[in-house]
Structure 1
Amino acid sequence: MQFMTVEQYQLVKKQAKKILNTYTTTKDQKVIQAIQALVQEKIDEKLTFTEISQQLQLQPIFNIETKEQLHYFLNDIKPYVIPFQAPTANELKKLFPKEKKLKLPNLDSYDWKETSYLSWFDAGTNRKYIVYREEGTLKGVRGVFSHSEKVGICTVCNQHAKVGMLLVAKKGTDLGTYTKKGNYLCQDSKACNEALSDLSKFEDFVENLT
């Protein structure tokens, strides 16, 4: 039975890497136990278990001492992840009806168990598209995306990465006027999704733009 959202899975993945890093940098049992306790606290804060078997699936996290064990652990728990409900090409076209020549991404290339939101960039128009689900309803936002060679902090996943400014134009209160809103977002949407373990940051991001 699937019991983890994608963002919860990403959080567990981060905590598993923290355990591995602890084992590889110290032999002090008190330090190891303290990190294990912090990891348990983070998991309990983010996940709600309905069955004891769900908790047992995550127990091996506390004994990850090698990269191989980390790899096996993540593979073992991935079947319990609830994937992002993949949209169809027609659904995407309906989201952006004004785009007569909408260039769609290859939907078959996505790992939906690693995806909290769908995003792609059209180099021909310099537009970046963001698609997400809000209470089950598919929603989308698009804007002009300016690339930068500088490393900054992504507003969505909060990691240091190559970011760009996404500017979204909205109709103003007066006829014929527009307002622009923008924020910094990872250029690499796949990496952004993998680093996104708190969906509220993404929700704040799209709310600010829309």
Structure 2
Amino acid sequence: MVIPFIRNHHYNFIKRQADILLQALRTVADRKVVESVRSGTEAKIIEMFPDITDDQKQLLGAISALESTTDFHKYLGSLEPYLAKFPRVTKDQIQKLFPKNKKLKIPDLLSIDYRYATYLNWIDIASNKLFIVYHLNGQFVGIEGRYTPTNKKSYCFLCNRYEELALFSAVSKKRSANSSPDYYKAFGNYLCLNGHECNKNMTDVEALEKFIHTVLG
């Protein structure tokens, strides 16, 4: 029985480690160095799964024995049945996350390949807003904010890859008891202009979850 346990960001991390190992196999002549890279690659991948079973460890650890480009393609393909999909979310659930947006434009949820999604995001061009939906601690959470393309490339705060960026600015829902009614505090960060590419690049969720906690409290 196949039990999915590899999330999108895990899979992206594994692919990146596979690229590093394959590059070492192609360019490094010293076998001791290659074997060091092999063992290090396997260890880094296994470390992502603290509750891993023996069968899962064997599945992932097979990377240390790969030799050719074909081997790596087959290895990555063998992991796909174990990808844990982003939980299915309905339009009603999304609407409840953004109750003040009565005319919220929700993307076509049936067109999304949830295997390769760490988070969902879409842009409402009319309001110039970006919406993000994430599954955190067993429930869906949503944040929204102003979305401003920068026409520049730099490092995305979510995936840490060099991409075309936009400034995302979200208003925090945290406020002190004695704050004035018109008080607000916004938090901004630069993220990928293309959310699909960002999901392809994600290898860690720490920055995303930290930002969500900052905004939602």
Tell whether the structures are fold-level matches, with TM greater than 0.5.
yes
The one-letter code of the counterpart of 1:205 is F
Q: Does 1:181 align with 2:187?
A: yes
The one-letter code of the counterpart of 2:119 is Y
The one-letter code of the counterpart of 2:31 is Q
The equivalent residue for 1:202 is: 208
The one-letter code of the counterpart of 1:174 is S
| Residues 171-210 of structure 1, C-alpha deviations (whole Å, 9 max, x = no match) | 6521123222111111111221222222112111222333
TM-score w.r.t. length of structure 2 = 0.88
Q: Does 1:192 align with 2:194?
A: no
Q: Structure 1 68/103 Cα, relative in aligned 2: closer, same or farther at 3 Å?
A: farther
**Which of residues 78, 81, 93 in structure 1 aligns to 2:80?**
78
Q: Cα offset for 1:135? A: 0.8
Q: SS in structure 1 opposite 2:157?
A: coil
Distance in 1 of aligned mates of 2:71 and 2:108: 32
Q: Structure 1 106/24 Cα, relative in aligned 2: closer, same or farther at 3 Å?
A: farther
Question: In percent, how many aligned pairs have the same letter?
Answer: 30
TM-score w.r.t. length of structure 1 = 0.91
Q: Cα offset for 1:89? A: 1.2
Distance in 1 of aligned mates of 2:114 and 2:69: 24
Q: Cα offset for 1:66? A: 4.1
**Cα RMSD between the aligned structures?**
1.9
Distance in 2 of aligned mates of 1:54 and 1:4: 10
Q: What does residue range 23-62 of structure 1 map to in structure 2 within 5 Å?
A: 23-48=25-50, 50-62=52-64
Any unmatched runs of 5+ in structure 2?
A: none
The answer to whether the 8 A contact 2:172-2:186 is kept is yes
Moved more, 157-166 or 138-147: 157-166
| Residues 62-110 of structure 1, C-alpha deviations (whole Å, 9 max, x = no match) | 2444443333221211111221102111111111111122111121222
The equivalent residue for 1:136 is: 138
Moved more, 58-67 or 148-157: 58-67
Q: Structure 1 179/51 Cα, relative in aligned 2: closer, same or farther at 3 Å?
A: closer
**Which of residues 16, 19, 28 in structure 1 aligns to 2:18?**
16
Distance in 1 of aligned mates of 2:202 and 2:152: 20
- For this pair of structures, how many residues does the alignment match? 210
The answer to whether the 8 A contact 2:187-2:215 is kept is yes
The answer to whether the 8 A contact 1:155-1:205 is kept is no
Q: Does 1:101 align with 2:103?
A: yes
Q: SS in structure 2 opposite 1:42?
A: helix
The answer to whether the 8 A contact 1:49-1:55 is kept is no
| Residues 39-77 of structure 1, C-alpha deviations (whole Å, 9 max, x = no match) | 122123212354322122123322444443333221211
Distance in 2 of aligned mates of 1:64 and 1:151: 35
Distance in 1 of aligned mates of 2:66 and 2:124: 41
Moved more, 62-71 or 108-117: 62-71
Any unmatched runs of 5+ in structure 1?
A: none
